[in-house]
């Protein structure tokens, strides 16, 4: 089921999401809908709070559905270590049509669980490291605009305010 994606301004995007403690059918259903929503958008990553569910679940697929082996479903992710930095343009399905350069770790080791509660460890670099950093931020109520300078952040905020006033957000 394709779910509506919350946009910047929605309170649920700003909450710290809860740890998953039941690896059950309900969780699998949510993950399935998130993957469908991510592919339909299309996007390379989605975090559960973006569809209004404040649990620590993220789906990532750098191939956007082209290559099954690229799909990552990650529960309760934790960053074990980071190395270096990269600065690249990024966007977010919750902040459509805004892209800005954000500094992220160049490499990242992440620990988490799959839908059955089995441990997963990911050693990521480049785009995957950036995407993991972005999605884990979502689970902590952080959006990419929070990494920008106050000036840039305010510019985006004001543009969104105008769009919202016009009923276009």
Q: Could you list the active site residues?
A: 135
Q: Return the residue nearest Ni ion (CB atom).
A: 92
Q: For residue 115, what are the contacts with CB-CB under 8 A and spacing of at least 6?
A: 23, 27, 28, 31, 73, 75
Q: To the nearest whole angstrom, how small is the minimum distance from the Cβ of residue 116 to Ni ion? A: 26
* Closer Cβ to Ni ion, 37 or 116, answer by number: 37
DSSP secondary structure code for residue 117 in this structure: S
* Closer Cβ to Ni ion, 116 or 159, answer by number: 159
How do 72-90 and 119-125 pair as beta strands?
unpaired
- Binding region for Ni ion (CB under 5 A): 92
Pair 105, 85: CB distance under 8 Å: yes
**Which stretches within the chain are classed as H helix?**
25-40, 126-139, 150-165
* Closer Cβ to Ni ion, 15 or 118, answer by number: 15
Residue 135's CB: how many other CB atoms inside 10 A? 24
Q: To the nearest whole angstrom, how small is the minimum distance from the Cβ of residue 134 to Ni ion? A: 5
Burial of 87 (0-12, 13-18, 19+ CB in 10 A): exposed
Q: To the nearest whole angstrom, how small is the minimum distance from the Cβ of residue 127 to Ni ion? A: 14
* Closer Cβ to Ni ion, 21 or 88, answer by number: 88
Q: What is the 3-state secondary structure of 64-82? A: CCCCHHHCEEEEEEEEEEE
């Amino acid at each position: 089921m394709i779910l509506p994606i919350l946009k910047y301004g929605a309170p649920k995007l700003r909450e710290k999401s809860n740890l998953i403690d039941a690896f059950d059918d309900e969780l699998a259903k949510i993950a399935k809908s998130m993957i469908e929503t991510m592919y339909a958008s299309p996007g390379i990553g989605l975090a559960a709070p973006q569809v209004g569910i404040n649990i620590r679940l993220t789906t990532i697929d750098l191939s956007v559905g082209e290559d099954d082996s690229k799909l990552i479903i990650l529960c309760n992710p934790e960053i074990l270590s980071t190395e270096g930095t990269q600065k690249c343009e990024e966007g977010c399905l919750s902040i459509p049509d805004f892209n800005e350069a954000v500094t992220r770790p160049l490499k990242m080791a992440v620990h988490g669980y799959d839908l059955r509660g089995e441990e997963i460890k990911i050693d990521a670099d480049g785009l995957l490291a950036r995407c993991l950093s972005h999605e884990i931020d979502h689970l902590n109520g952080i959006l990419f605009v929070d990494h920008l300078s106050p000036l840039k952040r305010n510019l985006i905020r004001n543009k969104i305010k105008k769009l919202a006033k016009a009923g276009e957000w």
